[in-house]
Amino acid sequence: MPDPNAPSGQADSPVQLIEPKRHGDARGWFSESYSERDFAARGIDIRFVQDNHSLSKPAFTLRGLHFQTPPHGQDKLVRCIRGRILDVAVDIRAGSPTYGKWVAVELSAENGRQLLVPIGFAHAFLTLEDDCEVVYKTSDFYAPDCDGGLRWDDPAIGIDWPLPAGTAPELSAKDAVLPLLADFVSPFAYDGRPLAPLD
């Protein structure tokens, strides 16, 4: 889905949409969901050390906005293997001209797309149907002391969540009380690459 909030005009965005090829025949299809060599050819030089897998049973479950702070920041490679989600990344790098801006894309078992969410971006997703399963790789291990997050509905960020009128998302108790961007002092450095649209 196009993101009207996203900045425009940049080709080298740190957040990247990955679309692995599927090779199909009468039996179904085969796809390489991750290849270190192919990622390196795209300029993505990340060593992943942990795989995570979540099941969200009700539609409109929202997880996020999450990140880990240094020294245990996490790059994430996210895909949906059952159902459909809206996956979101928010720029939280100090000094970035796109600080607080976001991009979003629908990931589904059907489309096979993946989103690379690098260190310095908060990540969240909203399930668009029941029984969604999401898997993602991370470049560092879970570190509770570095666990951080921001409010999903922060008006300063203004994410356009596709929630039906009158529907509140299913949230964890922790996510419901995360701080606002205005109260966050970013420990992430800007690397010179502003956030750009995904499509």
136 given a catalytic annotation? yes
Return the closest-CA partner of residue 117 out of 37, 195, 184, 192. Answer: 195
Q: How many CB atoms lie within 10 A of CB 9?
A: 7
Q: Is 30 left (phi over 0), alpha (psi -120 to 50) or beta?
A: beta
Q: Which residue in the list 23, 66, 99, 190 is annotated as catalytic?
A: 66
Single-letter residue type at 109: A
72 given a catalytic annotation? no
* Phi, psi of 176, deg, nearest 5: -70, -20
Single-letter residue type at 97: P
**Cα Rg, the chain, nearest whole Å:** 16
**Cα–Cα distance between 67 and 147 in angstroms, integer?**
6
**Cα–Cα distance between 44 and 163 in angstroms, integer?**
33
**Which residues contact residue 5 at a Cβ distance below 8 angstroms, ignoring those fewer than 6 apart?**
101, 102, 158, 159, 160
Q: Which residue in the list 72, 123, 136, 142 is annotated as catalytic?
A: 136
Enumerate the active-site residues.
Answer: 66, 136
